[in-house]
Amino acid sequence: MQLGTRLLLVGALLPAVLLGAALVAGGLALDRILHASVDQALLSQAAVEAVSLFDRAGAPHLHLIDSPLDSSVREFAPRGALYDPSGRLITRYPEGADVPATVDPVSLELQPKLSTAEVDGVRHRVVGMRVLATDGSPHGLWLAASLENHDAAVRAYWQVTGGAVLIVTLVLVTIQTVHARRLHRRVTSLGDHMERLRGGDYSRAPPSDPTRDVLGGLRDAIAITTTKLAAAREAQDRLLADAAHELRTPLTAMRAGIDVALRRPRGVEELEHVLGGLREEVDRLAALASRLLDMAALRAAPLNRVPGDIAKLVADAVDGALGLAEERGVVLEVVGVTRAPAEFAPSVVRQAIDNLVDNAIKYSPTEGRVTVGVEVVPGRVQVRVADRGPGIPAEQRERIFEPFERRDHAARGKGLGLAIVREVAERHGGHAWVEPRPDGGAVFVLELPDAAAADR
């Protein structure tokens, strides 16, 4: 069953059926209540007449005839008739009223008995009972109350409520049809978009939906997801293309070296030279493969976060880089706080810090200074690595964190170190960025949540 049909059934037809059922129940209850009211009035009149038929000397009589309000109540007062022991009509009310010609008192009971009969073509509620005279002779009392007003009221009820149910049903069906069609279009458009996503088409956003409700929020979430999927696909394609390019370069150099070596007989020294160059290219390939594996493992494996001290991790990283700094003639300095508790994965955060320190040493001039600082800001811990190298132009400060982007394209690095730094930061719920130094160089920042923020 389609969504629009289901909404029409549940939102319009079902409420209409329930409303109709409620009105039918109300009509039946109204009919019963009106009947009870007529019966109660009729029995009350029968009780009054039964105790006063013989309260006067002479012939029995009906008090309805003697009522001073006769002219006022005749229109809705019950018809009445009194019969002698032989069943002959003694008197009637009102004069000339259509009443039974004879009624055998013996056939009646002492307790009033109610029934419904048609009189003059109109339904009446009839009560008959036997009344004993002072001498014990049986007389018959017959009273009938018209149900014309009762039937008219019930008929008006059915007409009014039936018309109301019909109008309400039409309004509900109209509103729900419009709503169902609109909702069906919105849901169908999202479903079609999800089918395109499943087929790998991330080129289009879902159709716009200005309505601010759950579906509108879902559409916005799907649009954001689509954008992220498209960016991830683009980044994946770019990564594959860049990786292929990076792999092709050393492979091309290796093949060229082998071709040159095989072109003619070579001496031992020449072969050693060629093999040495090939060894360098193999090392380059191995390092690139290792970095690619590191990035793949970082993205795929869950982080095992434990409480620790970022400041101590920074100090260890700096100690590990002293040899490289001394070899390049660079001074390493640790500044900032000496304790910065956080919850993190030590191995991958240490790898990110090593990458930042290694880059800073690599791009610093001889006798330059690299400052590694740890700062604690509300909810965050920042590792700031500052160098006095050439700096990063503003237009490259975001792109530098993408895979295979280098600060210096003439350098022989793999271009994956900063990409790993940002990946580590984002996997921890943090961020990584670069800032310019006022006196030249660049400051790379790795920001992670502190211990309290991680607990939240």
Least confident of 10-19, 141-150, 298-307, 388-397: 298-307
Please give the Cα distance from 340 to 349 (Å, whole number): 14
The single residue of 139, 179, 184, 245 carrying the catalytic annotation is: 245
| pLDDT exceeds 90 at position 372 | yes
CATH 3.30.565.10 fits 305-455, yes or no: yes
Q: 226-239, pLDDT tens digit by residue?
A: 888 887 777 666 66
Rounded mean pLDDT, 173-201: 83
Highest-scoring range by mean pLDDT, 279-283, 329-333, 415-419 = 329-333
Q: Using an 8 Å Cβ cutoff, are 8 and 77 in contact? A: no
Considering the chain, what is the average pLDDT of its residues?
Answer: 82
Q: Using an 8 Å Cβ cutoff, are 274 and 400 in contact? A: no
Q: Using an 8 Å Cβ cutoff, are 344 and 443 in contact? A: no
More confident residue, 248 or 117: 117
**Predicted pLDDT of residue 446:** 94
Pick the CATH number of 214-297 from 1.20.140, 1.10.3470, 1.10.287, 3.30.1490: 1.10.287
Pick the CATH number of 3-154 from 1.10.760.10, 3.30.2290.10, 3.30.450.20, 3.40.50.1110: 3.30.450.20
Least confident of 84-88, 193-197, 368-372: 193-197
| pLDDT exceeds 60 at position 414 | no
Please give the Cα distance from 127 to 110 (Å, whole number): 12
Please give the Cα distance from 323 to 317 (Å, whole number): 11
**Taking the domains of the chain in order of start, what are their residue ranges?**
3-154, 214-297, 305-455
| pLDDT exceeds 50 at position 409 | no
Is the pTM for the entire model greater than 0.75?
no
Least confident of 9-18, 220-229, 390-399, 429-438: 9-18
Q: 135-164, pLDDT tens digit by residue?
A: 888 999 999 988 888 888 888 989 998 888
Q: pLDDT-based confidence at 453, cuts 50/70/90?
A: low
Q: How far is the CA of 133 from the CAs of 53, 112, 302, 322, 450, in angstroms?
A: 8, 16, 106, 134, 107
Q: pLDDT-based confidence at 444, cuts 50/70/90?
A: very high
**Predicted pLDDT of residue 413:** 46
Least confident of 16-25, 271-280, 376-385: 271-280
**Predicted pLDDT of residue 412:** 46
Please give the Cα distance from 408 to 387 (Å, whole number): 15
**Predicted pLDDT of residue 130:** 92
**Predicted pLDDT of residue 49:** 82
Concerning whether 245 is annotated as a catalytic residue, the answer is: yes
Q: 314-368, pLDDT tens digit by residue?
A: 999 999 999 889 988 999 999 988 899 999 988 889 989 998 999 899 888 888 8
Please identify which residue in the block is written with the tokens 């260890």.
316
